[in-house]
Amino acid sequence: MSVLEENLDSPLKKRPPSWSDIWLKNTKPLKHVVFAMQLQSLASKDPKSQTLIAKFANIDRTLLLPDELLLKILSRLPISQRNPNSLVCKRWLNLQGRLVRSLKILDWDFLESGRLITRFPNLTNVDLLNGCLFSPRNSWILLTHRMVKMQTSSDFCSNWKLLEANLLPVEVVDRGLQALANGCPNLRRLVVINASELGLLTVAEECLTLQELELHKCNDNVLRGIAACENLQILKLVGNVDGLYSSLVSDIGLTILAQGCKRLVKLELSGCEGSFDGIKAIGQCCLMLEELTISDHRMDDGWLAALSFCENLKTLKLLSCKRIDLSPGPDEYLGFCLALERLHLQKCQLRSKKSVRALFRVCEAVREVVVQDCWGFDNDMFSYASVCRCANRCGFGLFGLDWISE
């Protein structure tokens, strides 16, 4: 008997507690769960609580986010979703407008009325070219050019200066520039046509960060306003475009430009007149100039020799030039560009061997030559490349030439 009693009292006979024992002994969590279920059932029976829950589900929870945080969220969405996002509500419309940096204006009233600044307050790139034109709305004739696209009437053949007859007055353009400059002080790039000196002076005074300017229908007087843009780095001047408008840019304007915009890095002269003196002034004053593009020029003979004053010029482009320089002068007066690396010729008339020879003489340090869609380039002109110092390492690219003999 003693043995049996010992076995019963031994720890081997004690059964470990089960999960049911633990659950029944500790009933506090169960009570909390039952209490919560009862509250939920009571709330479901109360009609007031149901309306509160329904109203909470319809609340725009983005209203809890500050504008700065919501702007960061919207800025990370794809660009294709910007227009749908602006249709959500007025707040999203305003925030989406603050994300827009570049805009092309088609309606001038949108700028002059002040709606542009209210809708897009943080613009840095504005193109006013098409907005400066007025055209008949009921016309089915569409005129397209590499610069503009506009509707015109059926009597356009009687006047070959199409844009000149459909431009906004200078006073209206200047008022628009003043409104833009006052509303967008962080403007970095601007494209405009038919502006005056006063309008550009306003932009230069208000928009100190302006770095790129494209000016159409430019003349010598307008360049006085551009000279006030001290931080300008990229400039394109369009003086005369056949069939669209005409304007005069001479050595006087180029000298004014050179003395004011000394930080220019890229300069394009399209349809401009001038001569040796104007290009020389640019080379002597714009010491940071690295790229020069001359398009459809009307310059006097002898301008090629002035390129040697552009000591830091690395790229020279000639586009759509009917002639290069018919009378470049003696070789000893031509000089050459020491830092020049690239020479691009596109849609140019190269029938004058004297001009091509003088061009290669000035560009004798070049390492890359691209000739594309030019006329009159024959085999004999390849021999002029031998004057280049790096002729054995110079790369030629020939595209779309009219004729090359075998």
How do the domains of the chain map onto residue ranges? 64-99, 102-386
Q: Using a pLDDT cut of 70, give the percent of the chain over it.
A: 71
**Residue 5 pLDDT > 50:** no
pLDDT for the residue numbered 402: 52
pLDDT for the residue numbered 118: 87
Residue-wise pLDDT tens digits, 244-288: 888 889 999 999 999 999 999 999 999 999 999 999 999 999 999
Residue-wise pLDDT tens digits, 114-141: 888 888 888 999 999 988 887 666 666 6
Residues 225-247 have a mean pLDDT of 88
Residue-wise pLDDT tens digits, 39-93: 455 445 555 555 544 555 566 666 767 777 777 777 777 777 777 777 777 777 7
Q: Which residue has the higher pLDDT, 289 or 383?
A: 289
Distance CA(1)–CA(24), nearest Å, equals: 36
User: Angle 47-58/28-45 helices, nearest 10 degrees?
Assistant: 90
The amino acid occupying position 190 is L
**pLDDT grade, residue 337 (50/70/90)?**
confident
Structure tokens at 168: 């906004």
CATH T-level fold of 102-386? 3.80.10
For residue 293, the cross-strand partners are: 268, 317
Q: The tokens 């940071």 sit on which residue? A: 288
Distance CA(266)–CA(233), nearest Å, equals: 6
pLDDT for the residue numbered 309: 93
Residue-wise pLDDT tens digits, 382-398: 666 665 555 444 455 55
The amino acid occupying position 400 is G
Phi–psi pair at 342, nearest 5 degrees: -130, 135
Q: The tokens 């552009």 sit on which residue? A: 310
CATH number of 64-99: 1.20.1280
pTM above 0.85, yes or no: no
Distance CA(244)–CA(300), nearest Å, equals: 23
Q: Which residue has the higher pLDDT, 389 or 308?
A: 308
